[in-house]
Structure 1
Amino acid sequence: MNNNTTNNNNNNNIHLHCYHHHHADAELRYKHELNEQISQKRLSTSMAQQLDKDMCNRHFVVFDTFWGRPGHGAPGADKRKLKLNRLLYGSPECTPLLQGTSYSNDIHI
């Protein structure tokens, strides 16, 4: 009987050893899979951030071509040119471009 209990204990020890070994392998595989998921998530996040930066830069480059003028793209007031015409030609009536336009009424000498 003593021999039978010794064999029983040895079998239990072997089964416990196999269980712990299998459990340790499963835990290592699980940690490895988690590390892989973390790496993939970091890579996809950095790629998304880079794509976002590139799209922003392209957006600003495109809009600089549209709105690169002074006044942020708004047409400049023609009154500035009227002041130049008045300096060059003396009075609004002397400027051929302004005769008969509504701009000639805006100039006060």
Structure 2
Amino acid sequence: MIFLGLIKANDPTSLIDPVDFRTVDELYEYLLKALDSHNFSLSVPVTKELLEDGLKMEKPLIINFAGSTVSFMLGEKEVIYSNTSRFVNTGLELSDAFTKL
């Protein structure tokens, strides 16, 4: 299982509004929709291959947003559990949450 959530720069061990995915394909489709709906462009494009390779490193992957105090953190369940101290649920949709923080 793969988790995706937000982290704040001043509190990177709290995962905000985590969402879980069974496959890299599900995660990839979600990221495309979330990033496209807010017209984000990344310096390194997100590809399925990049996600697959990154998840194999057994460290959390961080997607930073220029000028923002929040980032996406994603990784396999065990990796996220070992790199976070708590999950915080705000009640917002994740794709909307990072624009409101």
Q: Which one has a bigger Cα radius of gyration?
A: 1
TM-score range, shorter chain: under 0.3
Identify the structure with bigger relative contact order (alpha carbons < 8 Å, sequence gap 6+). Answer: 2
**What TM-score, normalized by structure 2, do the two folds share?**
0.17
**What TM-score, normalized by structure 1, do the two folds share?**
0.16
